[in-house]
Structure 1
Amino acid sequence: MTESSPTTPVRLLAWWRFDDPARAEVDDASGNGHTMVPHGGPTWTAGGKFGGGYALDGATQWFSTTDPVVRSDRSLSVAAWVRLDSARTGPTPALPDDWYAVTAVSQNGPSHTPFYLGVRLIDDPVHSKTNYSIRWNFTAAPVDGSETGPVEWCHAFSRQVIQPSELDRWVLLVGVYDLDAGFVRLYVPGNDDAGETRLPDGWPSWRAEGGVQLGQARFRDDVSDQWPGSIGAVRIYSGVLTAADAASLYAEDKLAGE
């Protein structure tokens, strides 16, 4: 992994702990007022190591904020406790036919999403007879957003394929969009796993003005990637988190040095 020395201080912009099932809306524990609103009646469940969580049906249930939380044309980081539920996926990690991804955290743009944190099918002839394997993933999308645009979408994904033993188990994912160094990174600290990809020269960073979505994303002017499982505590930061930060969030629920 290539880690840069962050040039911009990390700042916590939003933090949803999901620790109060009695409330209809979810307060922002960062104090910045980004209230998270449920849609479709998600069910509260015990969360990861810290906080609570909500089980989603992978179709009609999600959460959203009214306004954007983070500037997507600058470096940012997203940390989320997520769980793939076998009641939704079946006994092995799999996506519905003709799906390539499911997304736990995103922020809406006009036609698509600048970043997608969750799971993706990755072209992989080594591990899969069908040439795709299912991995934890963080995607950055160019402003064009189409498959024929001048810049490819960039995926940072786990080295390890998601195994059946990971179903029904809480996993911390930390996605990092490092525009200063020109990388997209993913940390899965509980698995001692990580991945990165370099952004191409001339990468067209852009600012999405929609709200944060938990449990779905946006692609080609429509809702997509509905999450087949549960989502626990979520944090969004401006700036670049490190591997040490990811490990500290997993072990102690705080950044390294806090």
Structure 2
Amino acid sequence: MSGAGKTAIVTGASSGIGRYTAIALLNERWNVAITARRMDALRETQKLSSNPGNCVCMTGEITDEAFVIDLFKQTVSKFGRLDLLFNNAGISSPQIPIEELSLATFQNVLNINLIGPFICTREAVKQFKAQSPPGGRIINNGSLSAHVPRPHSHAYTVSKHAISGLTKCTSLDGRAFNIACTQIDIGNASTDMGGRHGLGALQPDGRMIQEGVLDVQHVASTIVHISSLPPDVTVLDVNIMPTNIPYVGRG
């Protein structure tokens, strides 16, 4: 199997893209540390794989610096090194006009979608530089909204534009250390967050229309493929979405 002996950390692995990606990596014989806030859901992710013995579950907040530091420490202590970080954990917020958006909501989205990935990226880079041989890969879960926003999505869209900056800075500064960084921009995967657009999504002209939805398994297999590449090969950006989604020329 392509991942034998390799180690990954997957954040937000209790459901959706994080869950299916963790399962796909475990099925490819990766060692995987998964994290989220609910242990019961993490245990379910672990049980759904064909290789549960190579999985460790840790609950905590990715915005908690002490927790993240311990997450990386325990992962490396158990498995010996780190080869992949998938910065997946994230939230959205209600689609409301900016004048109705509270500062607390805006800050919460930024904390989880940006501050958390920053802390995780920092700790991953430390480990990638320190281990022998040095190097590794980070994959950031971006969004189509990192390029083209939906209506009334200030907090989420701003956070995902910032992830693009984090991705590019990490890729640039990681060059000399064999550290690769990818941003995967996913459109309407069949999860609780993305799948709802298949029932109806607000368009810029005010209409609500049903949009295409992508099987989340295709997202997971794409991430596994990128993860299988050697760290001297970078896929900076990848976009995966239903063919009929209104993205190019939204609305």
Provide the TM-score with structure 1 as the length reference. Answer: 0.26
Question: Which structure has the larger Rg?
Answer: 2
Determine which structure has greater relative contact order: mean sequence separation of CA pairs < 8 Å that are 6+ residues apart, divided by chain length: 1
User: Higher strand fraction: Structure 1 or Structure 2?
Assistant: 1
